[in-house]
């Protein structure tokens, strides 16, 4: 196990910069997810950590050692790929023991370590099979087995669940988290799925356009997003944002809708008013709105309403009978208000 330090790391392909000086510290044994939309540079950063991509500038340390120019095999890391990258002509056992074989370990030692890893992941009965004889979930587990067999200092996961169906993804998510809790190996996990990031990570790094937007614990990011990008990226349905300006004990949206706002925020230079869907409730004292779409999910009901000409999403835990076209009144929970400047930075 080891800590990982990334300091002002940059990457450019020719003249095109893709990572613009990213810095973060990952503690020993921590589970960190890099999350962001496609093309935000999260996979490139992970590949730079693995040594599969050169670093154009900055410094990467694993366990205190600068690894900028260290070959992947000498970084003491293991990586799980999106496509699993299992060697198709090798059995599960051979796949898992390949790195040890290359290291020149003895046959008995390899067998013992493979057996141990197989026991952890319940792969015992599959050891003699070829990857093509396995299901997607089993392949995923073999890929993880290949990683843990080496007892690396750091695990790197590159969108490992993207190729699985939704149900299996949930199961594997829990399995990976459980594995981390047992092994306590420092883990860097790349995903574009914010639910995956929220549920698995000790800390989340939100990236956009080659920059870090915010680093924090999952609930910190959810409760206090640093900017409108993080506010809308984390959470589903996304946070409701209304552009406008403060006025008379409240906030007037650009479309002229009046929203309540506590007086102490009046001088906060707020230009964007944000409220999460579950913090908008139906209340007599609220702002007039019209129901557009009602989506019951069982545990909660998603409601799309029109606040004047703007759309707003509500998530209701109580089962209330609502019909499209029905006039309602919605009120924000003022303690859960998010205010952002015109540039999108948090101001409250």
Partner 1 sequence: MTLQQPALAATAALARPARRRDKGRLFQEIGMLAPAVALLTIFLIVPFLLSFWTAMTNQPLVPRPTPVRFIGFTNFLRILKDDLFWISLWNVSRFTFWILPVQCGLAFATALLLHQKLPFRNFFRGLFFLPAITSMVVVCVIWGTLFQYPTGPLNQVIGFLSAGRIQPIDWLGDPNWAMFSIVLLSAWQAYGFQMIVYLAGLQGIPDELYDAARIDGANAFQRFWHVTMPGLRPTHVFVLVITTIQAFKLYTQVAVLTQGGPRSSTETVVHYMVRTGFEEQKLGLASAVSVILFLIVLVIALLQRQLLRRFDV
Q: Which is nearer to partner 1, 57 or 72 (CB)?
A: 72
89 belongs to the binding site for partner 1 (CB under 8 A): yes
Looking at residues 40 to 59 of the shown chain, list those that interact with partner 1 (rule: CB under 8 A).
Answer: 47, 50-52
103 belongs to the binding site for partner 1 (CB under 8 A): yes
The values of phi and psi at residue 181, to 5°, are -65, -30
CA angle in degrees (0–180, nearest 5) for 310-336-224 = 100
Residue 269 class from Cβ within 10 Å (0-12 exposed, 13-18 middle, 19+ buried)? middle
97/107 Cα distance (integer angstroms): 9
Alpha-carbon distance values, 243 to 146, 220, 258, 310 (Å): 50, 24, 12, 10
Among 14, 15, 69, 102, binds partner 1 (CB under 8 A): 102
Q: Which is nearer to partner 1, 132 or 167 (CB)?
A: 132
Q: 131 is written with which tokens? A: 């990857």
Residue 211 class from Cβ within 10 Å (0-12 exposed, 13-18 middle, 19+ buried)? middle
267 belongs to the binding site for partner 1 (CB under 8 A): no
Measured in whole angstroms, how far is the alpha carbon of residue 336 from the centre of its chain? 23
Output the CA torsion sign for 60, 62, 66, 72. Answer: negative
286 belongs to the binding site for partner 1 (CB under 8 A): no
Q: Which is nearer to partner 1, 90 or 268 (CB)?
A: 90
Among 23, 66, 87, 317, binds partner 1 (CB under 8 A): 87
DSSP one-letter code for 267: T
Among 73, 107, 112, 317, binds partner 1 (CB under 8 A): 73
189 belongs to the binding site for partner 1 (CB under 8 A): no
- Residue 8's Cβ-side half-sphere holds a number of Cα atoms within 13 Å equal to 2
What does the per-residue mask of binding to partner 1 show for 109-148, with x meaning CB under 8 A? -----------------------x-------------x--
Output the CA torsion sign for 161, 54, 65, 104. Answer: positive
14 belongs to the binding site for partner 1 (CB under 8 A): no
Q: Which is nearer to partner 1, 72 or 308 (CB)?
A: 72
99 belongs to the binding site for partner 1 (CB under 8 A): yes
What does the per-residue mask of binding to partner 1 show for 303-342, with x meaning CB under 8 A? ----------------------------------------
The residues that touch partner 1, with contacts defined as CB under 8 A, are: 47, 50-52, 71-73, 77-79, 81-83, 85-89, 98-99, 102-103, 132, 146
């Amino acid at each position: 196990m080891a800590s990982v330090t990334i300091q002002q790391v940059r990457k450019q392909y020719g003249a095109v910069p893709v990572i613009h000086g990213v810095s973060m510290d990952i503690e020993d044994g921590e589970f960190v997810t890099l999350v962001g939309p496609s093309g935000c540079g999260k996979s490139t950063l992970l590949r730079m950590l693995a040594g599969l991509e050169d670093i154009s500038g900055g410094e990467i340390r694993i366990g205190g050692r600068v690894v900028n120019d260290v070959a992947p095999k000498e970084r003491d890391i293991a990586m799980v790929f999106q496509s699993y990258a299992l060697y198709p002509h090798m059995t599960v056992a051979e796949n898992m023991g390949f790195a040890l074989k290359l290291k020149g370990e003895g046959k008995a030692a390899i067998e013992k370590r493979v057996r141990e890893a197989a026991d952890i992941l319940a792969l015992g009965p599959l050891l003699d099979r070829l990857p093509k004889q396995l299901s997607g979930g089993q392949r995923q587990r073999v890929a993880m087995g290949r990683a843990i067999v080496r007892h690396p200092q750091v695990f790197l996961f590159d969108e490992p669940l993207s190729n699985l169906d939704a149900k299996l993804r949930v199961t594997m998510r829990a399995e990976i988290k459980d594995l981390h809790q047992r092994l306590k190996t420092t883990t860097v996990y790349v995903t574009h799925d914010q639910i995956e990031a929220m549920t698995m990570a000790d800390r989340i790094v939100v990236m956009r356009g080659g920059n870090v937007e915010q680093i924090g614990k999952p609930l910190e990011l959810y409760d206090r997003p640093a900017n409108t990008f993080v506010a809308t990226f984390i959470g589903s349905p996304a946070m409701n944002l209304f552009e406008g300006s403060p006025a008379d004990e409240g906030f007037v949206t650009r479309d002229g809708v009046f929203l309540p706002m506590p007086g102490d925020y009046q001088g906060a230079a707020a230009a964007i008013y944000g409220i999460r869907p579950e913090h908008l409730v139906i209340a007599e004292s609220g702002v007039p709105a019209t129901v557009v779409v009602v989506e019951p999910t069982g545990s909660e009901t998603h409601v799309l309403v029109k606040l004047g000409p703007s759309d707003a999403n509500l998530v209701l835990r109580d089962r209330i009978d609502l019909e499209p076209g029905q006039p309602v009144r919605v009120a924000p929970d003022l303690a859960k208000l998010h205010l952002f400047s015109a540039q999108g930075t948090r101001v409250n």
